[in-house]
Amino acid sequence: MPLILGLESSCDDSAVALVSGDRQILAQAVVGQDDAHRPFGGVVPEIAARAHVDILPGLIRQVLAEADVGIGEVDAIAATAGPGLIGGVMVALLAGKGLSIALRKPLLAVNHLEGHALSPRLVDRDLAFPYLLLLASGGHCQLLEVRGVGDYRRLATTIDDAAGEAFDKAAKLLGLGYPGGPAIEALARDGDPTAVKLPRPLVGSGEPHFSFAGLKGAVQREVAGGKHRPADVAASFQQAVMDCMVDRTRVAMAATDAPTLVVAGGVAANGALRSALGDLASAEGRAFSVPPAWLCTDNAAMIGWAGAERLALGMIDGLDAPARARWPLDQMAEKVRGAGAKA
Ligand code: KG4
Ligand code: ZN
């Protein structure tokens, strides 16, 4: 079985993993940069890119040593080639190209979103195509029919903020710092999800798109009003996001007979969301699959695995593979009314 070295640096996590074509993760490591970005309340692209240059080479050495595998035993290099912060994307991609040249092994230029989209198949060998995927991360919130490797049909996207972005902005308003998702989830455990009345944007609409900007505005007004406990605001916010996701996913189910609902991306680490979507799937007679939380947030095991899937199909990239800031999974999907640059 081939051994694939996965490299990831598209946002604020530097990550390396060694995975095999038969779903073994021989070793992996992720180094976050939360402390470096926290004073700014979000990721600073220039700081992130420089940090990846510092961190990635040592991580490659560490992962190979932990797996007790020599660099010459690696069969292919899978590097994230986008989408993401372009300075960061270039770090892993160029490292991957350099290793590919030096080792004379194939390069797989992986779409980070495809890494998230295929990650459930790394831990769930029975998960077959097609499946309905809710992909919710810091930069994206989409419902996709995953038909195969490299074959995606977008059913819905956000018309403004991504789901993780909404968590991060709400957390900032509550003074919780960055990243916001885990902080909101922790605070929400002490709160009453019915305490604060918040909107559920687009719920009930016939198309399964998302919108979170209005929710952020409402949280801003609640925080400024100071009437409610922060824990109640956090719990009510999380409940509102969950209600939107459950409703939107239910609508998307009407557009696909894919038998399994899958959730992936950083926001899928949220325990309340995982259980609400699991309940939806069983109510709608669909199977449910969600990767463990460590595989939902950014990591290189998912990049190595997407590389393994592509390698098995002969989908190898040349050294001219570009670094892309924007790279939608469904290239045919049209812009949605009200949508900004995000697709
Ligand atoms: O997939 P990811 O690690 O990076 C991107 O590709 O964007 O997602 C990061 C996002 C952040 O916005 C973070 O706040 C959110 O995922 N997140 C969560 C949780 N853990 C991470 N959101 C809600 N609940 C969580 N437990
Ligand atoms: Zn991600």
Query: Which pLDDT does position 72 carry in this prediction?
Result: 97
Query: Which pLDDT does position 178 carry in this prediction?
Result: 81
| 272 and 299 share one domain | no
What does DSSP say about strands 287-289 and 260-264: parallel, antiparallel, or unpaired? parallel
Q: State the Cα–Cα distance between residues 304 and 59, nearest whole angstrom.
A: 14
Bridge partners, 30 (sequence order): 15
CA torsion sign for 310, 315, 316, 318 is negative
Query: Which pLDDT does position 340 carry in this prediction?
Result: 52
| 139 and 79 share one domain | no
Q: How far is the CA of 195 from the centre of ligand 2 (A)?
A: 32
Nearest CA to ligand 1 atom 10: 138
The answer to whether residue 123 sits within a structural domain is no
| 94 and 147 share one domain | no
Cβ atoms 75, 104 nearer than 8 A? no
Q: Is any atom of ligand 1 closer than 6 Å to the C-beta of 142?
A: no
Q: Is any atom of ligand 1 closer than 6 Å to the C-beta of 270?
A: yes
Mean pLDDT by 10 residues, the chain (343 residues): 98 97 98 89 91 98 98 98 98 98 98 98 97 96 98 97 96 91 98 98 97 96 96 98 98 97 97 97 98 97 98 98 97 78 45
The answer to whether residue 336 sits within a structural domain is no
The answer to whether residue 341 sits within a structural domain is no
Q: State the Cα–Cα distance between residues 79 and 46, nearest whole angstrom.
A: 20
Q: How far is the CA of 78 from the centre of ligand 2 (A)?
A: 15
| 112 and 237 share one domain | no
Treating both helix axes as pointing N-terminal to C-terminal, what angle do 271-283 and 230-253 enclose, rounded to 10 degrees? Answer: 30
| 136 and 282 share one domain | yes
Distance of CA 205 to the CA centre of its chain: 25
The answer to whether residue 24 sits within a structural domain is yes
Q: State the Cα–Cα distance between residues 307 and 78, nearest whole angstrom.
A: 5
Nearest CA to ligand 1 atom 23: 181
Could you list the residue range(s) of the whole structural domain that residue 302 is in? Answer: 3-117+295-327
Residue by residue, DSSP assigns 242-302 as: HHHHHHHHHHHHTT---SEEEEESGGGG-HHHHHHHHHHHHHTT-EEE---HHHHSS-SHH
CA torsion sign for 211, 214, 215, 217 is positive
Which of the ligands is closest to the CA of residue 114? 2
CATH number for the domain spanning 99: value is: 3.30.420.40
The answer to whether residue 332 sits within a structural domain is no
**Tokens 């709160």 identify what position?**
191
Residues 161, 90, 111: CA angle, nearest 5 degrees:
55
Q: How far is the CA of 166 from the centre of ligand 1 (A)?
A: 10
| 109 and 184 share one domain | no
Q: How far is the CA of 32 from the centre of ligand 1 (A)?
A: 12
| 111 and 167 share one domain | no
| 107 and 164 share one domain | no
| 285 and 307 share one domain | no
The answer to whether residue 337 sits within a structural domain is no
Q: State the Cα–Cα distance between residues 76 and 308, nearest whole angstrom.
A: 8
The answer to whether residue 122 sits within a structural domain is no
| 107 and 138 share one domain | no
Secondary structure (3-state) at 158:
strand
Based on the structure, what is the number of domains in the chain? 2
Residues 92, 290, 79: CA angle, nearest 5 degrees:
10
| 279 and 305 share one domain | no
Query: Which pLDDT does position 342 carry in this prediction?
Result: 47
Q: Is any atom of ligand 1 closer than 6 Å to the C-beta of 164?
A: yes
Query: Which pLDDT does position 339 carry in this prediction?
Result: 56
The answer to whether residue 92 sits within a structural domain is yes
Q: Which of 89, 118, 297 to mutate to test the pocket of ligand 1 (most atoms within 8 A of CB)?
A: 297
Cβ atoms 200, 225 nearer than 8 A? no
| 17 and 147 share one domain | no
